[in-house]
């Protein structure tokens, strides 16, 4: 049974696809951590190696980017009280420079991200936000004559902070603090000398209060507020200004502007307030006279605000009045300006910054694509051992296999070419029951395991059957079923109604018997000597492990299991599955991605609860049996073993052996302790005062820290009992055509630099390009099939670097419309950077084997993220990534909001070791985005929420070699670009789209939309300007359709990327060779040259003349097979009609009805 973390899936849908307001995802973990750090920028006053710093940000810089810039993006700044100096942030470092402009002096450096500086009232300190302690905190820079000392004010590693301000007496700092992972911040006040601080603003968990600005008398705190974290496709207003009264604790709203009001900035005389607002499509500054309430425009258009994203760097960059309150110093247009309050022109304050940015490792691994005749299937599913433990049943590529366990040869149990899944053994081990699925529906079969296998159909009625359980006490098989039509009609992985009913059928077949509605219960199973049916109802409000009678009555709740609080979450994770042992009082519990064995106590009253967050402290005996995750858990022989799978590996965890191992370790520790105590008694008492008298406190602490570190390094770590593991290898024939094809007379855009062959030929042998050149120049073998493509344009196959293609999970379908649609539109390679489940491993193998029409299906697998793990250290990160490098073989991973900065650095360090190419989640958070690039992550998904971006960011991203995939169809910082196309294109009437897309999917997306926007409200062209600048600077970008509209959506996204001024040729490079490089496949894909795989698109019209001509696909060639772009009939080297798509018969034609 596929275990799906629905809490995780819902959050993915929230952050990736659904236009809703974010609620507060919060956790309550807080670590106490405080220390002083000597800065070495001005003067190297460090006396010792700062081990704590290394632990907090463990990554060592491996690269440095250096350049000079007179432009800056999103510069938050402040002016010293004496009016002589500006402090500002640029690319995560703080700088100072004269208020008149000129050469900037670096105040902070290193991998830490430092931002939002603000001078203390006496000018001797600067408060700022930094993640140098491993997570974000408030810090103060104490400015001394020859050095700068940094003091940590707040504690904890799992909070997020924005800007901060000082009270006029300089004793307190007010900042906004929220829990990590999209948490909703509130205003907090801290004393500069210590303490845990106090929360000021209360209210709803969804009330966001940020951007504090304290009045000169210290009584009032101005701030920006909004409801919720952010909205996709936002409507206005989003923010308004309020004040907090420090005498009464009351708040009062101060604005009611349609365009919102944000980033309050006060003059030191208390007379003036400046704030930002949106007017039409632009942002501007309003000047309010606080004595009269009168307002006027101060600057327009100004820096584009960030009110339509999370705004972790405030809604506008920090700005400041001059000490005489006659001018405002602010940044916009890439410059710093002096704006007179009385009116008139602003003057530029010259910016001259020598940028030096430290970066983590550069990961640029290559993954050659094999032409071997066979490949090893990557995943076994539903593996279950026989009752006596001598055989193993499982599915590979959705076909049922059996083998002698542990060293037998896998053999199929049927010859049916349908999906086979969910095998269960009869109690005597002589039969296996399983379910099937085909476009005609599903059934339950049983097959003998002795002699020659002969499958027998047990059901007479077609349905979607799942999750079988064979009773120990009767000849009955329990199942969960739903409507064939509901499952067939399901567009994606969710099929409402497919898990509707619980029933049973005789093991000899016959009429099924209804037991009860499932009501969210699943995973039926049995316990020996007990005639009840056990089920599991998960989720926060679920009843947990329950049992019922055969008629569905007398439901009893037996156990609830919870786990860790994952990163940023308020509540502990709940189990996705709990399954009783056939013998005894234990159960398997799967929590997140790990598997536990727990004791099931027999209690009266409330349902027993067990937390396995720390199994050693659980309410009843419990143990964790996985180190780095597992799937498809099952009980083994006599309930003494637990089995699970990862990829094509099968694990055997022997509970008795584990107990023996643990007892021996415990005994060894006790003996060692006795020896140490004896040795200690024999030692001569020494005078500690003499020994330590000359050692100062700091050195002693450092020495002790060194000792602890050395002891930790030298002490052999006990990895604990490890389960046995076997690899189940089934060789599958790779789909490679045989034959030679000549594509003759086309314009060929090779993506080899700027090469264009105006009249050229491409010779394809089997699945690779044999030769390419001017028409008539190639040597053509006999029996070559020639295809006349004169007048057409050939480009490499399109690469979609952010392609969410989620087919059915659990019981797999045989024909995937999502795959077919993408191939028909010329997308020959995809990378899904978040699959949520591992079903993609089997689906992609189907495509490799030629069982399904589709592009090359690459993926990161389920994102490495908060939902599954709370990363403890580098070793833990290594174990987690082993899933991907050793078992899933994904090549790339998605680091999906895995934790704080420290945890994210552990992931990149482990990825480097295991030769994995990670990409990242943008998460509407520019601060997060930059730190991920600093740390060396080679891929970035989603647009930066802030624009425009200038030379500093352009150069930084370009030289980092990070591939930027902006997914502008779901743009951050404004309306999704897909809304533009639905408003301007005839999507519903597109014949090709209707051929490859189920009608109801088009209806759902195109007939009625939830929002409409004026053309100038759209932001995709503005974001695309950065893509143009990035590519011009030598950087890399990718085209990611985000799965918004399969096939055609890729072209929309390509057009988006080109809309900012990128040349058509460069846009095509982004769509092909850049994409291939981003996922390490450019050795075989991305350009048209001899030796590379024959993936290409033949267009009727020239895309160099108009980028929209990419949507004139005549033919698509993938892996040497040439398809008609309008039907997917194969044309060469063999001819084959495409199978009829199941949705084509789902139209109301030739039936009674009103004729108009």
Q: What is the pLDDT of residues 423-445, one digit of tens each?
A: 999 999 999 999 999 999 999 99
Residues in the chain: 1156
Rg (the chain; Cα; Å): 32
CB 736 within 8 A of CB 766: yes
Q: Would you state the pLDDT for residue 712? A: 43
Residue 1106 pLDDT > 60, yes or no? yes
For 31-44+52-359, CATH gives: 2.120.10.30
Q: What is the pLDDT of residues 158-178, one digit of tens each?
A: 999 999 999 999 999 999 999
Instruction: Residue 365: count other Cβ atoms within 10 Å of its Cβ.
Output: 15
The per-residue DSSP string of 867-931 comes to: TT----SHHHHHHHHHIIIIII--SEEEEES-SSHHHHHHHHHHHHHTT-EEEEE-TT-HHHHHH
Q: Would you state the pLDDT for residue 686? A: 54
Mean pLDDT within 678-690: 64
CA atoms of 352 and 721, how far apart (whole Å):
59
Q: Would you state the pLDDT for residue 179? A: 87
Mean pLDDT within 675-696: 60
Q: What is the pLDDT of residues 898-919, one digit of tens each?
A: 999 999 999 999 999 999 999 9
Residue 552 pLDDT > 50, yes or no? yes
In the numeric block, the tokens 């799967």 are attached to 590
pLDDT band, very low/low/confident/very high, at 865 (cuts 50, 70, 90): confident
Mean pLDDT within 280-284: 98
Q: What is the pLDDT of residues 741-784, one digit of tens each?
A: 999 999 999 999 999 999 999 999 999 999 999 999 999 999 99
Provide the CA 798 distance to its chain's centre, in angstroms. Answer: 23
Q: What is the pLDDT of residues 613-624, one digit of tens each?
A: 999 999 999 999
pLDDT band, very low/low/confident/very high, at 670 (cuts 50, 70, 90): confident
Provide the CA 705 distance to its chain's centre, in angstroms. Answer: 36
Residue 530 pLDDT > 70, yes or no? yes
Higher-confidence residue of 473 and 818: namely 818
CA atoms of 31 and 159, how far apart (whole Å):
10
For 740-859+922-1138, CATH gives: 3.20.20
CA atoms of 389 and 471, how far apart (whole Å):
18
Instruction: Residue 552: count other Cβ atoms within 10 Å of its Cβ.
Output: 15
CB 815 within 8 A of CB 490: no
Mean pLDDT within 486-503: 92
pLDDT band, very low/low/confident/very high, at 701 (cuts 50, 70, 90): very low
In sequence order, which residues have a C-beta less than 8 Å from that of residue 627 and are 6 or more positions away?
A: 719, 720, 722, 879
Q: What is the pLDDT of residues 709-729, one digit of tens each?
A: 444 443 456 778 999 999 999
6 membership: H or E segment, kind and range: helix 6-16
CA atoms of 793 and 772, how far apart (whole Å):
14
In sequence order, which residues have a C-beta less than 8 Å from that of residue 345 and are 6 or more positions away?
A: none
Write down the domain spans for the chain: 31-44+52-359, 740-859+922-1138
Least confident residue range of 42-46, 257-261, 1070-1074, 1126-1130: 42-46
CA atoms of 728 and 650, how far apart (whole Å):
7
Residue 42 pLDDT > 60, yes or no? no
CA atoms of 352 and 284, how far apart (whole Å):
26
Residue 82 pLDDT > 50, yes or no? yes
Residue 19 pLDDT > 50, yes or no? no
Mean pLDDT within 289-306: 98
Q: Would you state the pLDDT for residue 866? A: 58
What DSSP designation does 684 have? P
Candidates 1105, 1059, 899; CA nearest to 966 is: 1059
Q: Would you state the pLDDT for residue 821? A: 98
Residue 602 pLDDT > 50, yes or no? yes
Higher-confidence residue of 679 and 721: namely 721
Residue 1139 tokens, joined: 């199978």
pLDDT band, very low/low/confident/very high, at 15 (cuts 50, 70, 90): very low
Q: What is the pLDDT of residues 970-1009, one digit of tens each?
A: 999 999 999 999 999 999 999 999 999 999 999 999 999 9
In the numeric block, the tokens 């602003």 are attached to 346
Q: Would you state the pLDDT for residue 677? A: 81
826 membership: H or E segment, kind and range: none
Residue 693 pLDDT > 70, yes or no? no
Torsion of CA 1091, 1094, 1100, 1106, to 10 degrees: -60
As a whole-number percent, the residues of the chain with pLDDT over 70 amount to: 92
Q: Would you state the pLDDT for residue 146? A: 85
Residue 707 pLDDT > 70, yes or no? no
Residue 37 pLDDT > 50, yes or no? no
Q: Would you state the pLDDT for residue 719? A: 77
Higher-confidence residue of 716 and 482: namely 482
Q: What is the pLDDT of residues 254-263, one digit of tens each?
A: 999 999 999 9
Mean pLDDT within 345-369: 98
CB 585 within 8 A of CB 886: no
Mean pLDDT within 329-351: 98
Mean pLDDT within 691-719: 43
């Amino acid at each position: 049974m596929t275990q799906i973390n629905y809490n995780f899936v819902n959050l993915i849908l929230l952050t990736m696809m659904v236009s809703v307001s974010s609620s507060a995802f919060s956790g309550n973990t807080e670590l106490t951590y405080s220390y002083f750090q000597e800065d070495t920028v001005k003067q190297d006053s460090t006396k010792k190696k700062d081990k704590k710093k290394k632990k907090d940000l463990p990554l060592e810089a491996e690269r440095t980017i250096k350049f000079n810039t007179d432009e800056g993006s999103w510069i938050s700044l402040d002016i010293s009280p004496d009016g002589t100096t500006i402090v500002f942030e640029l690319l995560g470092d703080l700088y100072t420079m004269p208020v008149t402009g000129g050469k900037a002096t670096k105040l902070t450096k290193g991998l830490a991200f430092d931002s939002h500086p603000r001078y203390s009232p006496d000018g001797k300190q600067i408060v700022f936000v930094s993640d140098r302690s491993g997570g974000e905190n408030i810090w103060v820079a104490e400015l001394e004559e020859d050095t700068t000392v940094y003091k940590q004010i707040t504690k904890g590693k799992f909070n997020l902070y924005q800007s901060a301000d000082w009270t006029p007496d300089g004793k307190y700092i007010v900042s906004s603090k929220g829990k990590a992972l999209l948490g909703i911040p509130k205003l907090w006040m801290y004393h500069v000398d210590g303490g845990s601080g106090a929360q000021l603003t209360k209210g709803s968990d969804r009330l966001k209060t940020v951007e504090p600005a304290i009045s000169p008398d210290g009584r009032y705190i101005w701030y920006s507020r909004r409801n919720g974290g952010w909205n996709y496709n936002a409507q206005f207003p989003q923010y308004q200004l309020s004040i907090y009264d420090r005498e009464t604790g009351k708040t009062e709203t101060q604005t009611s502007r349609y365009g919102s009001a944000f980033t309050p900035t006060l003059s030191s005389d208390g007379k003036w307030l400046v704030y930002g607002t949106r007017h039409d499509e632009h942002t501007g500054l309003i000047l309010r006279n606080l004595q009269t309430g009168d307002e006027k425009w101060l600057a327009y258009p100004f820096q584009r605000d960030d009110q339509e994203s999370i705004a972790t760097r405030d809604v506008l960059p920090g700005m400041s009045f001059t000490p005489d309150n006659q001018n405002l110093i602010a940044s916009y247009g890439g410059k710093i300006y002096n704006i007179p309050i009385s009116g008139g022109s602003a003057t530029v304050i010259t910016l001259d910054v020598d940028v030096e940015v430290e970066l983590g490792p550069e990961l640029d691994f290559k993954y050659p694509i094999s032409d071997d005749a066979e490949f090893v299937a990557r995943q076994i599913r539903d593996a279950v051992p026989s009752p006596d433990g001598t055989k193993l049943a499982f599915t590979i590529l959705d076909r049922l296999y059996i083998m002698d366990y542990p060293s037998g040869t896998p053999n199929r149990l049927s010859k049916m070419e349908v999906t086979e899944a969910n095998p269960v053994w009869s109690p005597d081990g002589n039969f296996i029951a399983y379910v099937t699925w085909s476009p005609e529906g599903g059934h339950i079969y049983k097959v003998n395991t002795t002699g020659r296998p002969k499958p027998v159909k047990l059901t007479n009625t077609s349905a979607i059957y799942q999750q079988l359980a064979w009773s120990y006490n009767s000849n009955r098989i329990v199942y969960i079923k739903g409507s064939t039509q509901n499952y067939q009609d399901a567009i994606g992985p969710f099929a409402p109604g497919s898990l509707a009913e619980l029933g049973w059928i005789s093991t000899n077949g016959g009429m099924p018997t209804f037991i009860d509605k499932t009501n969210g219960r699943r995973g039926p199973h049995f316990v020996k000597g007990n005639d009840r049916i056990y089920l599991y109802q998960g989720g926060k409000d679920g009843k947990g492990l329950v049992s019922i009678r055969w008629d569905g009555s007398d439901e009893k709740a037996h156990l609830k299991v919870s786990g860790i609080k994952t990163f940023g979450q308020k509540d502990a994770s709940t189990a996705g599955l709990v399954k009783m042992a056939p013998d005894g009082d234990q159960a398997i519990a799967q929590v997140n991605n790990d598997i536990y064995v727990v004791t099931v106590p027999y209690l009266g009253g409330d349902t027993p609860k067990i937390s396995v967050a720390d199994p050693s402290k659980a309410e009843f005996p419990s143990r964790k049996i996985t180190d780095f995750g597992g799937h498809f858990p099952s009980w083994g022989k006599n309930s003494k073993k637990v089995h699970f799978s990862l990829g094509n590996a099968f694990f055997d965890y022997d509970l008795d052996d584990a107990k023996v191992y643990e007892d021996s370790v415990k005994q060894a520790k006790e003996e060692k302790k006795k020896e140490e105590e004896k040795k200690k008694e024999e030692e001569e008492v020494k005078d500690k005062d003499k020994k330590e008298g000359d050692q100062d406190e700091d050195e002693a602490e450092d020495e002790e820290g060194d000792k602890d570190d050395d002891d930790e390094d030298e002490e052999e770590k006990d990895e604990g009992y490890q389960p046995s593991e076997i690899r189940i290898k089934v060789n599958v024939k790779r789909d490679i055509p045989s034959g030679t094809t000549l594509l003759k007379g086309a314009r060929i855009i090779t993506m080899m630099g700027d090469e264009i062959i105006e009249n050229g030929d491409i010779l394809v042998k089997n699945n690779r390009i044999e030769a390419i050149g001017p028409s008539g120049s190639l040597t053509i073998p006999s029996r070559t099939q020639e295809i006349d493509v004169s007048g057409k344009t050939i480009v490499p196959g399109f690469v979609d670097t952010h392609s969410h293609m989620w087919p059915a999970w659990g019981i797999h379908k045989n024909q995937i419309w999502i795959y077919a649609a993408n191939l028909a539109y010329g997308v020959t390679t995809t990378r899904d950077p978040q699959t949520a489940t591992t079903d993609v491993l089997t689906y992609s193998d189907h495509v490799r084997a030629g069982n399904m029409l589709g592009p090359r299906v690459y993926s990161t697998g389920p994102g490495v993220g908060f939902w599954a793990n709370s990363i403890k250290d580098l070793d833990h990160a290594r174990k987690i990534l082993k899933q991907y490098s050793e078992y899933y073989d994904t090549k790339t991973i998605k680091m999906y909001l895995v934790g704080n900065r420290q945890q994210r650095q552990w992931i990149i360090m482990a990825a480097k070791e295991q030769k994995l190419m990670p990409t990242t989640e943008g998460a509407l958070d520019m601060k997060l985005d930059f730190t991920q690039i600093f740390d060396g992550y080679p891929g970035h998904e989603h647009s930066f929420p802030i624009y425009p971006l200038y030379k500093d960011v352009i150069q930084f991203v370009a030289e980092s070699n990070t591939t930027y995939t902006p997914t502008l169809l779901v743009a951050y910082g404004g309306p999704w670009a897909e809304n533009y196309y639905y408003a301007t294109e005839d999507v519903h009437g597109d014949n090709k789209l209707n051929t490859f897309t189920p009608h109801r999917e088009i209806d759902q997306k195109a007939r009625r939309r939830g929002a409409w926007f004026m053309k100038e409200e759209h932001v995709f062209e503005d974001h695309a300007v950065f893509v143009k600048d990035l590519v011009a600077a030598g950087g890399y970008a990718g085209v990611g359709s985000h799965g918004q509209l399969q096939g055609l959506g890729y072209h929309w996204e390509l057009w988006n990327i080109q809309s900012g001024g990128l040349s058509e040729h460069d846009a095509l490079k982004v769509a092909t060779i850049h994409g291939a490089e981003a996922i390490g496949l450019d050795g075989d894909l991305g350009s048209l040259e001899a030796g590379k795989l024959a993936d290409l698109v033949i267009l009727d019209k020239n895309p160099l003349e108009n980028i929209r001509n990419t949507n004139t696909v005549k033919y698509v060639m993938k892996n040497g097979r040439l398809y008609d772009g309008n039907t997917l009939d194969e044309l060469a080297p063999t001819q084959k009609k495409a199978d009829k798509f199941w949705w084509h018969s789902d139209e109301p034609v030739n039936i009674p009805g009103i004729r108009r």
